[in-house]
Structure 1
Amino acid sequence: MRSGKRLSERWFNLVLWLVALVFAVFLIGLGALVVGDLPQVERRFTLEQFLDGEQARASASALKQLRREQDDNQRQAEQARLALDAARSASESARETFANWLRTRDATQRVDQDPGLIARTERLDALKAAERAVEERLEALDKAGLDLSQRQSAQIGIDTELRSAAQEKLDAAERGQELRVFAYRLAFTLPLLALAGWLLLKRRHGRNWPFVWGFALAATFAFFVELVPYLPSYGGYVQYSVGIVATLLAGKAVINALHAYSERQRAAELRPDEERRTEIATDQALQRLAKKVCPGCERPVDLANPDANFCPHCGIGIFERCVACNHRKSTFERFCYACGKTATTLPIPGIT
C-alpha cells in the first residue's frame, strides 16, 4: 500500500532537505572562518619580548665584537699562510741554487776564504729566519684564533642560557594564549550546539524545519569537526565529555519517550475502536500499513489475509466495506479507491 502523501509533497520535502543542506554548508563555511580567525583577538608573542633587554644587548654586542675579531684574525692568518708559503718557496729555491753552485765550484778552493760561499750562506740564513718569523706570527695568530673561539663559545653559552630562559617564558605565555583562544572557540561553538539541540527538541516539526536542521548540522559539524585542528592537548577531554553528556541526555530523553509511548499505547488500546481511529492521521496510518504494521499499535499484521479485518494485537479496525460498491477498503481511507465515493461504510459480514 502506498503512502498517502502527494507526489508534489514528496518533491517539496526533497527540495526542503536540499535547502537544509545548502544552509548548513554556508553556515559551516562561515563558522570555519570565525573559528579560524578567533586567534587574531590575541597578539602574537616573540622571543625578544621575554629576553632581558640589557643583558641581551650586551650579549649580542659581545658576540658581534668577537665575530669581528675572529674574522680579522682569520684574514691575518690567511695572509700569514700565504707569506709562509712564499718564504718557504724562496728558501727552497735558494737552497737548490746553493746546492747547484756547490757542485760546480772549484773543489780546491778554501771554504773559509770563499766570499761567495759566505754570502750565499748568509742569504740562506736570512731566508730561513724570515720563514721562521712568519711561522711564529702564524702560530701567534692561531693561538689568538683559538682564544677567540673559546671566548665566543663561552659567550654563545651565555646567550643560549638567556634565550632558554626567555623560551620558557614564551612557552608559558603561548600555553596561556592557547588556553584563552580555545576558550573563545569553545564559547562560540558550545552555545551553538546547545541552541541546535533546543531547536531540534522544540522546532524540528515547525514551519521552518529546514533551517532548524541546517543549523543543527552546522553546529554539530563546528563542534565535533572544525574544532578538532585547534584542540590543545586536553581539548579532547572537553569534546568527549560534551559528547558523553549529550549522549546521556539524548539517551535519557529517548528512554523516557519510549516509556511514555508504551504507556500511551496501552491506554489507547483500552479506548473504543472508532475513537482510536479518529486520532490517527490518514497519512500516518497509510504509511504504517505500507510497512505491514498496525496503524494503532505498530505490531505486524497479515494484510494479505482477506479475513484479517482487525488487528489481532490491539483490536483496532483495519478494513471495512464501502457502502456504495461493497468493496473491502481500509478504514483509514477517506475515499473508496474502487468507486471513489466517500468513506460511508457497511459492516463486513461477521463484524458487528
Structure 2
Amino acid sequence: MMKLPLLLFLCLILLPLSVTAQLRVGFYKSTCPRAELIVRQAIHNRFKIDPSIAAALLRMHFHDCFVTGCDASILIDSTPRKPSEKDAGPSLGVRGYDIIDEAKRTLEATCPGTVSCADIITLATREAVVLAGGPSYSVPTGRRDGRISDPSLVDLPDPSLSVPETLTFFASKGFTLKEMVTLLGAHTVGVAHCGFFQDRLTNFQGTGRPDPTMDRALVSKLLRICGTQPRSFDKDPTMFLDQNTSFVVDNQIYKQVILRKGVLQIDQELALDRSSAPIVSMFASNGRAFEQSFAKAVVKMGGVEVLVGKAGEIRTNCRVFNKKKHI
C-alpha cells in the first residue's frame, strides 16, 4: 500500500529537476551559433549610454520568473480585450522591453524561430550584470516561451514585508534563506519610487513618526527628495537603493543596511532579523562570497518553472503570442 504513494512522491520531486536539466550551456551552438554574441552586442551598445539597464534587466528577470516561471510572460503587450502582466501594479516600473525587442529582431533575421524570448531575458541579464561589475557566469539555455500572461497571477512580495513573510514567497519557488538574501542583493543597483518607502519617513506603521531603524540623516535626505505627500507613479521621484556605488553590482548594499541606511524596509530588515543578519554580515565583509552566491542564485532563478522541449512556443515577436496554426 505504501509503494504507490512513495513512487508518486519521488516523481513529484524528480519532475522539476528533470525539466530544469534539459537546459544546457550552449543550447544554440548548432542551431544559432551567434545567439549569445548577438544578445551581448545589444546589451553592450545600450550599457554605453544607459548603465541603469543592468538594474532594469535584473528586475525584469525576477518579475518574469516569479510569476509563471521564466517564460517571457512579462513581455506580452496588453490589448483592449486582454490585459497582460504589464498591467499589474508591481510591473509598472519594469522597463527594458525595447532592448529585448532589438536583440530579438537581430536573432530572427539570423536564425528565424530559434531563440526564445525567455532565453534572451536570461542572457541579457547576465551581460548586464557583467558590464555592471558583477560576476561572469555561464547561462544554461533552452527555455521556451509561455502562452499565458495574466495580471491576476502577479503576486510578488511587497517591500514592506518582514523577512519571514518574504521568505515564504522565495521558498515557494525553491529558494533558501541565503539565496533570498543573495537575490535581494540585486538592490545594489537600481532605484525605488518614493511611494514604496514614504511611510518610513513620516508615519511608520501608523506611529506618526519615522521608522526608528532608519538612519536619521537618510530620513532627512529622503524627505527632501520625496516630500510628505504621495504622488502619481509617473510623477513620483526615485531614490538609489545603493547610496555609494549605484550602478555597480557589488556588496555595498549589505554594508549600508548594517549602518541602517536601507531605503526599502525589507532591505533594512535583512540586517535586523536574527535569521538573515549573519548572512548580511558575511556578504558585507566578503565581496567574493557575495559574487559567487549571486551568480549561483541568478542561474537557479533562471530555472524556475521553465518550459522546455515541445512545451510553449518560440515567439517571433516577444510582445505577442504566435498565431495558432489551424490544420
Superposed pair shares fold, TM > 0.5: no
Higher helix content, 1 or 2: 1
Higher Rg? 1
Could you state the TM-score of these two structures normalised by the residue count of structure 1? 0.18
